[in-house]
């Protein structure tokens, strides 16, 4: 088990120990240790913690991870964020839930009194609160989220899918282009098999491994084919064909023939191709182009990737505000 240690604070060598093999998120480990340093008096009241980027550099983690930890301590009433100055210690020990609610109620009461005092109506106050909540939520969407795809077609498919679910903009690229692009990424999503390579390229960016699998209904139809039958696979890009063939075979055990065709060469060759198959599966990007062919008696079914619910939940935990 590897445990990385870095020294903090200019006035001393305070050790932060991060266990990167632990199931506990790095930000939670950081919160726990910083909370201890405050409670034990290592960080004094009114003392500023190291800037997020500086601490992130020392710990070799993303500054978003440090910021997430600091914000957690702000919520607990341990730190206060001062614009232009940083995060300052408010207390040596975390407040209880009741104490935090009591302090929060006082702040809200004071704010409401001031708003009423300047003549705002109840509807105006409600509007302002909703507006500020919306602005806080939109801050998350300023983060750059990138999906590293094994091939371009799955990249487009995934980003459309996950963006619609999480309501956050996701860009995509491939491993081959990662080193040349997206140096400013805040979060990188990729399949588990690609994690090590991505981390080697961007050691300070939050990287999350995802579980993606082909649609079960389509796999079930393929699995029911006899070995003497033929499967037709239609993709938009040629490079998608070998990847999907391999996934289909490993997921279904189908050992019959699989013919592949792409729309990069147009669709004039598809009629003859389809006539040679017993079942045709196609990627989402091909759906519109195959509309006229799908009216034939031949069985057509779309094949695409689904993101596991666990992966979606992991993304929501990784990116604050989702």
**Which two tokens mark 243?**
């990847």
State whether 170 and 275 are in the same domain.
no
Which residue's structure tokens are 């040349």? 180
Single out the residue in 46, 61, 89 at which a domain terminates: 89
State whether 155 and 133 are in the same domain.
no
State whether 166 and 233 are in the same domain.
no
State whether 207 and 313 are in the same domain.
yes
Supply the range of the domain harboring residue 186.
145-213+309-318
**Which two tokens mark 64?**
């978003």
Which residue's structure tokens are 């500054």? 63
Contact in structure between 144 and 187 (CB atoms under 8 Å): yes
SS3 258: strand
Residue 52, number of CB atoms within 10 A of its CB: 20
Local mean pLDDT, 10-residue blocks, the chain (322 residues): 34 63 86 81 82 84 90 88 84 60 78 88 86 60 81 87 77 83 85 92 87 93 94 94 95 95 86 89 87 70 90 79 56
Distances (CA, A) of 289 to 67, 151, 283, 297, 302: 46, 20, 11, 17, 13
What CATH number is attached to the domain comprising 179?
3.40.50.2300
State whether 116 and 80 are in the same domain.
no
C-alpha 45, offset from chain centre: 36
State whether 47 and 187 are in the same domain.
no
C-alpha 12, offset from chain centre: 36
């Amino acid at each position: 088990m590897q445990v990385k240690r870095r020294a903090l604070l200019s006035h001393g060598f305070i050790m932060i120990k991060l266990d990167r093999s632990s199931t506990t998120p790095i930000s939670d480990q950081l919160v726990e240790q910083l909370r201890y340093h405050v409670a034990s008096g290592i960080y004094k009241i009114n003392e500023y913690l190291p800037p997020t980027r500086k601490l992130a550099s020392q710990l070799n983690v993303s500054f978003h991870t440090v910021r997430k930890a600091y914000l957690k301590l702000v919520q607990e009433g341990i730190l206060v964020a001062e614009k232009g100055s940083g995060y300052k210690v408010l207390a040596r020990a975390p407040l209880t839930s009741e104490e935090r609610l009591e302090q929060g109620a006082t702040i809200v009461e004071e704010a409401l009194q001031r708003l009423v005092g300047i003549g705002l109506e109840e509807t105006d106050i409600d509007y302002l609160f909703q507006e500020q909540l919306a602005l806080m939520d939109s801050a998350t969407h300023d983060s750059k989220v990138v999906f590293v795809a094994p091939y371009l077609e799955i990249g487009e498919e995934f980003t459309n899918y996950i963006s619609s679910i999480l309501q956050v903009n996701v860009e995509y690229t491939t491993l081959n282009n990662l080193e040349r692009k997206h140096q400013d990424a805040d979060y990188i999503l990729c399949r588990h098999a690609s994690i090590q390579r991505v981390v080697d390229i961007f050691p300070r960016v939050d990287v999350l491994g995802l579980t993606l699998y082909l649609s079960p209904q389509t796999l079930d139809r393929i699995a029911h084919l006899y070995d003497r039958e033929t499967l037709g696979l239609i993709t938009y890009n040629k490079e998608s064909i070998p990847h999907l063939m391999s996934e289909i075979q490993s997921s279904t055990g189908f050992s019959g023939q699989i013919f592949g065709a792409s729309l990069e060469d147009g669709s004039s060759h598809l009629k003859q191709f389809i006539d040679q198959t017993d079942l045709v599966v196609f990627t989402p990007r091909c759906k519109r182009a195959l509309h006229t062919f799908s009216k034939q008696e031949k069985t057509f079914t779309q094949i695409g990737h689904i993101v596991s619910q666990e992966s979606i939940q992991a993304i929501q935990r990784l990116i604050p505000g989702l």
